[in-house]
A and B are shown apart, each in its own frame.
Chain A
Amino acid sequence: MASREPLLKDRIAIVTGAGKGLGAACAAELDSEGALVVVTDIDGDSAAKTAAGLTRGESAVCDVRDDAALAALVDDVVARHGRLDVMVANAGIATVTPIAEMSLEEWRSVLSVNLDGVFSSVRYAARAMAASGGGSIITMASVTGLAGSPLIGHYAAAKAAVISLTQTTAIEMRPHGVRINAVCPGFIGTELVTERAHLFEEGLGIEDFNAVIDMKQGRMGEVGDVAPLVTFLASDRSRFSTASAFVVDGGLTASLV
């Protein structure tokens, strides 16, 4: 195959929650396609570490619950690089608790990161992109946003809302050349999932969480399974897609049983 220009040559990208896990993998993939990636995380050291592994990486501390911090981050990136082309609103957290036993504080803590944080990331990115002629936003939703998800009801509700937020923003921003799509991974073997396997086993009354995952998805997902999709959506190759949700789950949601 003939060599080609990197798909994201000189594009300016922000990935939130990219200190580790899925966000870090997305940052690496965008970097490999020529983008300059601003890696952000609430943990500045982990963000710096991810950025250090990139060809052209920068890092910044950012707590996505802090709306003013997101505004400042986007302003700073635009001031230094002239524009923002790609935003991956990835930062997210989870706990494992049935709804009936969940405190309002626990509910709000997850919603504040997984929904409010995406709202702030999306709106500041959308404004900046519209001002410079367009761009592509990718929200990290989840298959949990598509169906009931026992023990992670707050997480699932936030992800469902993220899909809705994605759709509405897409239609509103379409005249300004800003696309926005959601990515819905199945269960990916990051700390977020693996460290909580025993909680799912206890809460669901099953012996082996990983065996259930194998049955439903064929195998546990890997961060590298998701990152190319994010890059595809960031690139012009997906230019006619907006307001859509893209599932990457090994077949989990395709089957009723």
Chain B
Amino acid sequence: MLSDLTDKRAVVTGAAQGLGRAVAELFIERGARVVLTDIDADALKQTVAELGDAAHAVPCDVTSETQVAESIRAAVELLGGLDIVVNNAGIEIGKPLVEQTVEEFDRLMAINVKGVFLGIKHATPALAAAGGGNIVNMASVAGLGGVPLLGSYCGSKAAVLRLTETAAIELRGVGIRVNAVCPSFIDTQMVERLVSPFEGATGAKFSDVVAVKQQRLGTSEEVAEMVAFLASDDARFVTGAHYTLDGGLTGSLF
């Protein structure tokens, strides 16, 4: 059965809403038990209540090494071990690079890059203890090329791809696969927030750009399917890779 996750034990970060929630939901549908983490404890509690018995809430700020380490410990205890970690938590800044403040830039890098680094670092002993497992990092097509107003986000996602590749090689010997997913514009609040600044800065209708470059917005469920495939044993020989779902965006010159 394709992308079967029966009895798999997973952690998904940034899972109170958006892509993270969709990933947790699909994992549960495919048979996994999931610890959802998020910095917003109230929203997380609500989401976990909606997802049922296979979902557990562990509030966590991914920029804090202590909290990440503690969330992995809590997940191992709640689930009896750990097979999959999805480093999904991330934020964007929708401003021209030169208008971004150092504080904004530092915060974005702390969440999008340090958060993934800490996730890999602290998940590894737990995954190795389970005899191997895998990590899926939420990158983006923004890690493959420049996007106006998303300069720091692009830089952070490019960094996630390089972390993914190096971790994949270093951890192959202990049976841990590490891969990344690169979605383009997806129907999430993050993209919704971009529409107005994007139109202001470029003079183009955002919906036109989407129509020309990727035909339509992707959906969270579509991203979750890609993550589930990579997290499953069907992708057993896939490591250090980034799998793209972008409606053709990066496949065309214009």
Contacts and interface: CB of A to CB of B under 8 A. Distances in A.
B247 to A, nearest CB: 6
B165 interface: yes
A237 B245 contact: no
Contact of A244 (B165, B169, B218, B246): B246
Interface stretch (B76-84, B102-110, B231-239): B231-239
Contacts of A97: none
A33 B2 contact: yes
Contacts of B222: 239-240
Interface string B223-249: 001100100001111111101111110
Nearest to B225: A237
A175 B215 CA distance: 8
B98 interface: no
Chain B CB within 10 Å — which of A33, A167, A221, A226 has the most? A167
Contacts, number: 117
Interface stretch (A16-24, A130-138, A201-209, A228-236): A228-236
A64 interface: no
Contacts of B183: 240
A248 B251 contact: no
A247 B2 contact: no
B236 A225 contact: yes
Nearest to B218: A240
A248 B136 CA distance: 15
B4 interface: yes
A103 B211 CA distance: 47
B252 A237 contact: no
Given A1-B30, A241-B226, A7 B251 contact: no
A254 interface: yes
B229 A237 contact: yes
Given A240-B183, A251-B240, 19 more contacts: A1-B1, A33-B2, A167-B251, A167-B252, A174-B248, A228-B2, A228-B235, A232-B3, A232-B229, A232-B234, A235-B2, A237-B225, A240-B247, A241-B244, A241-B245, A241-B247, A249-B237, A254-B166, A255-B240
